[in-house]
Chain A
């Protein structure tokens, strides 16, 4: 596939063979945003793919789906396509980006994060 995770956001892959399926599912496991799986029966599931077993039987992926307590285990033979549907939460938040900002911008950003955290109840 040879694509970086930043490029993956928004991309859809319909599998043409097993080795491509394994490669894409591995990339989906590595991806920090949500992905959408399309199943052979036509159903779709969107969630965070946090685990996979792709090299020995039983072959499966595991997903946490918003609003559901327990993880779902999906046999990989049921999956026919993957869309990297969620945005990559690590994007644009590098240390370099922070350092490159001017003093004033940093202060403004710090204030903004602080007020967001307060609103979310994560800071008193």
Chain B
């Protein structure tokens, strides 16, 4: 389960912003301290750069400054593979000192060997990329044997008392029964919860064929989440899960998960790259937000239902009004 202190931090942060009348505020900073990865997944649009870009790193000081500047209570460290960054331990340590809840996203290839760099803390969660059971995951990451290595890493991290979640991206052709079996298997590993999102085409991902369309996404999630098992825990807002099944209609709030990387603050979201701002303030003030999201009619957003665009909307709904809170309670109790 997500610690109560984290729920409380997020709730009071959102309510505080609402009371101050702040219209656009960040919830999760998507921090990409590097683009270099030790895998080359076809669905990933984050690593197709020349070598001199892949060799660039954000310094710990730049990472802390970005977290300070935007003020989001949660920092998701993605990339690239963060464990390849030589100063990842310092980056994490500094963010924890700032009392940010850090989700370190990793493919876990280096996890077992790098675990000594970290100390278990309620502020630190390893969010391990697993797209399914062995067959599906190894296919998704375009390399055999990755699933087994990741599972070993997860077991070791759990054994040593770290918070561990898995994050899964589901692509077109996912088999609901296999996904359900995968959730059973993941929970048996002793993880805290599952984060799941439909894959959506990064503009630059080499594979553009296998991303889900909106209706298919809803159908798939309905099938996966029907008669949801009590043993499955999700590290996601209950309302986001309702949204994925088509039970609630939301629009995207891309400023909820702003992305900072070696180019600066990315406009408008984690997936699209429509330019960069030098500061978070400039990002918020200069991005034409009305041009993005499902309702904008922007074809690039037409089928997108991803976590990084829509979960902030769901969280905002939960803590933004008594009605939203009541919906969340209802969705939680119906599990």
- In chain B, positions 78-94 with a C-beta closer than 8 Å to chain A are 81, 84
Q: Is the interface of A mostly helix, strand, loop or mixed?
A: mixed
Q: Are A48 and B50 in contact (CB under 8 A)?
A: yes
A90-114 vs B, CB cutoff 8 Å, 1 = contact: the mask equals 1101111111000000110010011
Q: Is B61 an interface residue (CB 8 A)?
A: no
Number of residues of chain A lying within 8 A (CB) of chain B:
37
List residues of chain A with CB within 8 A of the CB of B204: 32, 90
Q: Are A124 and B206 in contact (CB under 8 A)?
A: no
Cross-chain contact of A123 among B38, B139, B206, B275 (Cβ < 8 A): B38
List residues of chain B with CB within 8 A of the CB of A52: 275
Q: Is A50 an interface residue (CB 8 A)?
A: yes
Q: Are A110 and B42 in contact (CB under 8 A)?
A: no
Tell which of B23-31, B96-104, B140-148, B161-169 binds the partner: B140-148
List residues of chain A with CB within 8 A of the CB of B56: 64
Q: Are B50 and A95 in contact (CB under 8 A)?
A: no
List residues of chain A with CB within 8 A of the CB of B264: 51
Cross-chain contact of A96 among B38, B40, B209 (Cβ < 8 A): B209
Q: Is B109 an interface residue (CB 8 A)?
A: yes
Complex Cα distance, B205 from A97, in Å, reads 14
Q: Are B206 and A95 in contact (CB under 8 A)?
A: yes
Number of residues of chain B lying within 8 A (CB) of chain A:
36
B106-124 vs A, CB cutoff 8 Å, 1 = contact: the mask equals 0001100100000000000
Q: Is B276 an interface residue (CB 8 A)?
A: yes
Q: Are B113 and A98 in contact (CB under 8 A)?
A: no
List residues of chain A with CB within 8 A of the CB of B184: none
Q: Is B20 an interface residue (CB 8 A)?
A: no
Q: Is B230 an interface residue (CB 8 A)?
A: no
Tell me how far the C-beta of A25 lies from the nearest C-beta in chain B, rounded to whole angstroms: 12
List residues of chain B with CB within 8 A of the CB of A107: 144
Q: Is B216 an interface residue (CB 8 A)?
A: no
List residues of chain B with CB within 8 A of the CB of A32: 48-50, 204
Q: Are A123 and B207 in contact (CB under 8 A)?
A: no
List residues of chain A with CB within 8 A of the CB of B268: none
A31-65 vs B, CB cutoff 8 Å, 1 = contact: the mask equals 01110000000000001101111000000001010
Complex Cα distance, B42 from A93, in Å, reads 7
Q: Are B210 and A95 in contact (CB under 8 A)?
A: yes
Whether A123 contacts B109 in the complex (CB less than 8 A), given A52-B275, A95-B209, A110-B145, comes out as yes
Q: Are A93 and B209 in contact (CB under 8 A)?
A: no
Tell me how far the C-beta of B58 lies from the nearest C-beta in chain A, rounded to whole angstroms: 12
Listed A/B pairs (8) with beta-carbon separation below 8 Å: A32-B50, A50-B276, A89-B50, A90-B206, A95-B43, A96-B209, A98-B42, A124-B110
